[in-house]
Amino acid sequence: METKPLAILAAGGTGGHMFPAQALAEELLFRGWEVKLSTDLRGARFTQNFPREVKIEIIHSATFAKNGLISKIKVPFLILGGIFATLKAFWKKRPSIVIGFGGYPTIPALTSSIFMSLPRIVHEQNGVLGKVNQLFSKKVHLVACGTWPTIMPEQVISEHIGNPVRKEVISRSGSPYIPPGNHPMSILILGGSQGATILSNIVPEAICNLPNELLKYIRVFQQAREEDCKRVRSYYLAKGITCEVLPFFDNIASYLCEAQLIISRSGASSVADIGIIGRPSILIPLGSAIRDEQTLNAAPLIKLRAATIIAEKNLTVKRLNKAILKILSSPENASMMAANAHKTAVLDATAKLADRVEEISGYSNR
C-alpha cells in the first residue's frame, strides 16, 4: 500500500493565519495527502471547521510581545521545547514538506524543517511580511504571497499566489447581490479574530443614527469580543434593531452572501472573502499594526472603488454614519461596488499554492 506524503501546516493563533491553512488542508486532502496542523492553544480555537482527517498537534511556542519580564524570559525556553518536540515527531515520521502561515507557533516546525533539510514554504497573507515569515523568508524555497505587491527583502524567491479561501466561501463565489432598497437589509460587521472594541463602541451608534426610513429595514450581524457582546446587543435592541452579536460566526459564507454592506477590519482573509463573494464594504484597518499591513491589504478594493476606507484614527460616529448612508442610499453605486469587489478575487489561489507544494516537495498524485 502506497504511503501518503505528509504535509505539515504550521499556523499561528489568529484566523488570518488559520483560514488559509484550512483551505490548503482541504485541497491537499483531496489530492491524496496526509495533513497535520501544527499550532498552539490559541490557534486550536479556529480548528473546529478543519476537515476531521487533519491531525491537530499542539506545540509550545511564545511571543516576546507579551508584557512582563518573567513572560519574556520564558519565551526562548518555550520555543526550544517546541522545537525539540517537533524534531522528535519529524524523525518519527518524516514530512514531505512544511508550510508556514505566519505567527510564532510556526517557529518550531520551520526551524525543524531547516535542521532536517526538508522542503519548506511560507505563505504571507498580508502586503508586508510578518515578523516570523520575514525571519524565515531567506531560508525557505518559496514565499507565496497573498497580497500583491508584497514588500519583500532582497534575494527572496517569491510569487503572487493569492490568499487561499475556505471551501464554504469559495463555493459561494460571485453569489448574486441584492442591492439596498425597501426590503430587509443586512449589515455585517467583522472585527477580526482579535475582536475590535472600537467597532463595538462606534458602529452601533453610527447605524442607529441612520434615517428612520432606512433604519426600519436594517438587520445587524456583528462580531464582537465576548465581553462586549451583551452591551452591543442591548444597544441595538433598545433602538428596536434586529441583531445577532457573537464573538465568532461559524457559517460566515451565508452572512457574507446575505449582506448589503460589510463593515470590517481589512485583514487579508477578510479582504479575500469579501472579494470572493463580491460585496460593498467599509474597511477600517487596524490602527495598532506597526507595518500598516491592513491598509496595503485594502488597496485592491480601494483601487477599483469597491470599498470605502476609514483610518482608525479618523473613525467617528459621524464619519461612519455618512459612509454607511452613502452606500445604502444608492442601489446603483452599491451594485457597482459589489461587482468591482468580485473582480479582485483570486479564485485559484488554493490550487496554485497546492501546485507549488507538490512541485517543491517532488510529489504529485495527479
Considering the chain, tell me which residue range(s) the CATH 3.40.50.2000 domain(s) occupy.
Answer: 6-163+347-361, 185-343
Alpha helices in the chain (DSSP H): 15-30, 41-44, 69-92, 107-115, 131-136, 167-170, 197-208, 212-215, 226-238, 252-258, 268-277, 293-303, 317-328, 331-343, 349-361
User: What is the C-alpha to C-alpha distance for residues 244 and 265, in angstroms, rounded to an integer?
Assistant: 18
pLDDT digits (tens, 9 = 90+) for 95-121: 999 999 999 899 999 999 999 999 999
Q: Which CATH architecture has domain 185-343?
A: 3-Layer(aba) Sandwich (3.40)
Helices and strands of the chain, counted as H and E runs: 15, 13
Confidence of residue 79 (pLDDT cuts 50, 70, 90): confident
> How many C-beta neighbours within 10 Å does residue 219 have?
17
Lowest-confidence pick of 43-47, 269-273, 284-288 = 43-47
Are 92 and 72 in contact, with CB atoms under 8 Å apart?
no
pLDDT at 82: 87
Q: Say which DSSP state 128 is in.
A: B
Main-chain phi, psi angles of 234, to 5 degrees = -65, -35
Contacts of 119 (CB under 8 A, 6+ apart): 96, 97, 98, 113, 141, 360, 361, 362
Pairwise CA distance, residues 268 & 273, whole Å: 9
Grid cell, residue 182, equals 425597501
Residue 66: what pLDDT? Answer: 54
Q: Contact, 243 vs 219, CB < 8 A?
A: yes
- 29 and 35 Cβ atoms separated by less than 8 Å: yes
Homologous superfamily of domain range 6-163+347-361: Glycogen Phosphorylase B; (3.40.50.2000)
Query: End-to-end CA distance of the chain, in Å?
Result: 17
> Residue 90 corresponds to which cell in the numbers above?
519529524
Could you read off the pLDDT of 344-365 as tens digits, one per residue?
Answer: 999 999 999 999 999 999 987 6
More confident residue, 70 or 272: 272
Q: Which residue has the cell 469597491?
A: 306
